[in-house]
Amino acid sequence: MNVTTLQQSFLLNNLNANPPNSAAATFYASLDQIHAVSPTISASIIKELQDQRSNLKMIASENYSSLATQAAIGNLLTDKYAEGYPQHRFYAGCDNVDAIEAEAASLAQELFGADYAYVQPHSGADANLVTFLAILSAQVQKPILAELNQEDPSKVSREDWSRVRAAVHNQRLLSLDYYSGGHLTHGYRHNISSQLFDVYTYTVDPITNLIDLDQLRTQLHEVRPLILLAGYSAYPHKLNFAKMRELADEVGTILMVDMAHFPELDLALVQHLA
Ligand SMILES: Cc1ncc(COP(=O)(O)O)c(C=O)c1O
C-alpha cells in the first residue's frame, strides 16, 4: 500500500462518513504537508500511529501526549531561540516565548503545589545535568566567589577561575547503581555525569532486592558526598524520601530526586487526596 492510499484509508476508516472534527483535520492536514515534502516521513508517522494504536507502550520514558501538545510543539516556535529566562533574555524578540514559558511555569507550580518551577529542560537527561550544575553553582562556585568578594564569574582572574573549576570537578555523587535500577545519567561511566563527579553508588540488597537504608546511612557517613541522588529507572518499590532526606541532612548532603518515572503517580495521589 502506498502512502497516499494509506493516508486515505486512515481518513476513511476514522471518519466513518462523519464530517472531520478539528483534531482529525489537524492531524491529516499536517500529514498532507509532511507528505508533500517527504513521503518517507509521513509514511513512518502513519505506521507509528498504527503501532501506537495497536500495542501497549511499556517503556517508562515514553509518553501519550495530547494532540494539543503535539501541535503546540510542532509549529513555527520550533524556529525560536530564547536563551535565558522570561523577561531576562540575552536579546530581543522573545515576548511570545516569554508568555508561553511563564504560562508553563505557572501551570507546573499549580500542578505540583511548588513555589518555583523551571520548565526549560526538555528531557530527563538534560534536567539532571541542569540540576547538577545548579547545585554545583550554589554549593561550590558561589562560596568561592564570595571568598573572592566577587559575584560575577567573568570578572574573576584566570587563576581564581581555575580554582573554581577544580573545586567544581572535585565533588562526590552518591547514587543508585545502574545494575540496581539507577539511570545512566546518575554517574554511569558512559555518561557525562561520571566525568563531572567522583561517583559512588549504593546498591539493592542481593537477597531482598531492596535499598537498605541502614547501609546507605553508613555509606553516606563514609563518602560524605555533595549530592545524594534518589530516584531510579527500574526499582519497583516505594522510596522513603523523608528518611533519605533525614540521612542526607545528617552529613550536610543535598538530596536530589530524579522523579522522571513517577511525577504522574505523585500527582494522581495528591489530586486523589485533595
Ligand atoms: C530515572 C531517569 N532519569 C532520566 C532519564 C532520561 O530521560 P530522557 O530520556 O528524557 O533524557 C531516564 C530515562 O528513562 C530515567 O529513567
Domain check: are 172 and 248 in the same one? yes
Which portions of the chain are predicted below pLDDT 50? 1-3
Q: Is the CB of 234 under 6 A from ligand 1?
A: no
Q: What is the CATH number of the domain that holds 177?
A: 3.40.640.10
Domain check: are 97 and 217 in the same one? no
Q: Which domain holds residue 91?
A: 80-112
Tell me if 219 is assigned to some domain. Answer: yes
Q: CA 230 to CA 175: how far, in whole Å? A: 7
Domain check: are 102 and 189 in the same one? no
Tell me if 43 is assigned to some domain. Answer: yes
Domain check: are 133 and 262 in the same one? yes
Q: How far is the CA of 61 from the centre of ligand 1 (A)?
A: 6
pLDDT in tens, 149-187: 999 999 999 999 999 999 999 999 999 999 999 999 999
Q: Is the CB of 239 under 6 A from ligand 1?
A: no
Residues 10, 13, 18, 21: is their CA dihedral positive or negative? negative
Tell me if 118 is assigned to some domain. Answer: no
Place of cell 573549576: 165
Q: Is the CB of 201 under 6 A from ligand 1?
A: no
- What pLDDT was estimated at residue 3? 47
Alpha carbon nearest to ligand 1 atom 14, residue: 61
Domain check: are 67 and 183 in the same one? no
Quote the cell numbers at residue 255. Answer: 538530596
Tell me if 243 is assigned to some domain. Answer: yes
**Angle between helix 22-37 and 39-54 (nearest 10):** 140
Tell me if 117 is assigned to some domain. Answer: no
Tell me if 153 is assigned to some domain. Answer: yes
Question: What's the structural domain count of the chain?
Answer: 3
Domain check: are 169 and 226 in the same one? yes
Tell me if 119 is assigned to some domain. Answer: no
Q: Return the half-sphere exposure (C-beta side, CA atoms, 13 A cut-off) of residue 15.
A: 16
Tell me if 274 is assigned to some domain. Answer: no
- What pLDDT was estimated at residue 273? 57
Q: Side chain identity at 248, as an amino acid letter?
A: A
Domain check: are 183 and 225 in the same one? yes
Q: Is the CB of 257 under 6 A from ligand 1?
A: no
Domain check: are 263 and 141 in the same one? yes
